[in-house]
Amino acid sequence: MDRLTIAGREFSSRLMVGTGKFSSNAAMQAAIEASGSEIVTVALRRVDIENLQDDMLAHIDREKYLLLPNTSGARDADEAVRLARLARAAGCEPWVKLEVTPDPYYLLPDPIETLKAAEILVKDGFTVLPYINADPVLAKHLQEAGTATVMPLGAPIGTNKGVRTRDQIGIIIEQALVPVVVDAGLGAPSHAAEAMEMGADAVLVNTALAVARDPAAMSIAFRKGVEAGREAFLAGLGSEKIKAEASSPLTGFLRDE
Amino acid sequence: MQITLNGHCKEVTDNTTVAELLTSLGLDPTRVAIELNQQVISRERFGDTLINAGDSIEIVQFVGGG
């Protein structure tokens, strides 16, 4: 596959994977491995002092994967900026998947707080990958603020509904000067393929892998979906027609006309 | 003296550094990130950053997330 470039850094995979909701660290590790991904998202949370947990990072090869910390849980720009800075202090490269989701029911991103946080983090030297609703105008503002990508949602996080924001994502792709990563809501490899066929530069998948009966096998299926979609986009898809257009010749029938 | 640690009250001895607090909690300093009164403390400064009465400390670590 042709390579993906984000903020001057090249990747051969166009599938990013999340690490949440897996039944075990071993299942997560197997899924990451099978996905062929090079970018892996993680979250930051308070340490439970009374009940210390295993270090999940021990299961991710930092030489092989770029760790992309998210700011999940942030309800406003201030909390997102604090989380990004904490992630950097914890030893991550200054890359951040910026998420500001004040609404716990649909987890839809707050556009105003996301833009505010993006402006602060870009000035602070971060490579910012903002999670947004599929809003082309917001995508432009973020791009102008200097974000490295835009990450419009296909559907709310964890819903497995697919690319429900298709038309809006199409406009974002048409206008984007930075890579477009479709993030959230992709529940099946066909959804990932659809986003890639439309010309998305990459997709990010978590829940669909983590909740599969066999997460590693599902990762392989998603990898193939992403590759198929990308190859179809590059090959040039035929345009939609309203009326039938025969594939076989319309002459030489066994009848006299 | 009393501090607030991850949102809960905690009693610690006077003149404790961030590094000493982590040791007393059994936490590996390379696995966590710390905010002292909403300011990030870099790892190199854990050893010489003193905690004062009433300080608010956040200790975070990476967990799975999308």
* E strand or H helix at A62: none
Number of domains in chain B: 1
**Distance separating alpha carbons of residues B34 and A88, to the nearest angstrom:** 11
Residue A159 lies in a domain: yes
Catalytic status, residue A97: yes
Which residue segment(s) compose the domain that B48 sits in? 2-61
B34/A89 touch (CB, cutoff 8 Å), yes or no: yes
Number of domains in chain A: 1
A45/B66 touch (CB, cutoff 8 Å), yes or no: no
**Distance separating alpha carbons of residues A152 and A168, to the nearest angstrom:** 9
A46/B65 touch (CB, cutoff 8 Å), yes or no: no
**Distance separating alpha carbons of residues A150 and A7, to the nearest angstrom:** 12
pLDDT for B2 = 94
Q: Which residue, A155, A159, A182, is CA-closest to A170? A: A182
Residue A140 lies in a domain: yes
Closest Cα in chain A to B63: A43
Residue A177 lies in a domain: yes
Which residue segment(s) compose the domain that A219 sits in? 4-235
B32/A85 touch (CB, cutoff 8 Å), yes or no: no
pLDDT for A256 = 83
pLDDT surpasses 80 at A257 = no
pLDDT for A1 = 78
Q: pLDDT tens digits, residue range A137-189?
A: 999 999 999 999 999 999 999 999 999 999 999 999 999 999 999 999 999 99
B39 touches chain A (CB under 8 A): no
Rounded to a whole number, what is the largest CA-CA distance in chain A?
A: 88
Residues of B in contact with A207 (CB under 8 A): 66
The answer to whether ipTM exceeds 0.90 is yes
Q: pLDDT tens digits, residue range B8-60?
A: 999 999 999 999 999 999 999 998 999 999 999 999 999 999 999 999 999 99
Question: Hey, what amino acid is at A213?
Answer: R
Distances (CA, A) of A238 to A100, A173, A232, A241: 38, 18, 10, 9
Residue B66 lies in a domain: no
Nearest to A72 among B33, B42, B65 (CB): B65
Q: Would you tell me how many other CB atoms lie within 10 Å of the CB of residue A81?
A: 22
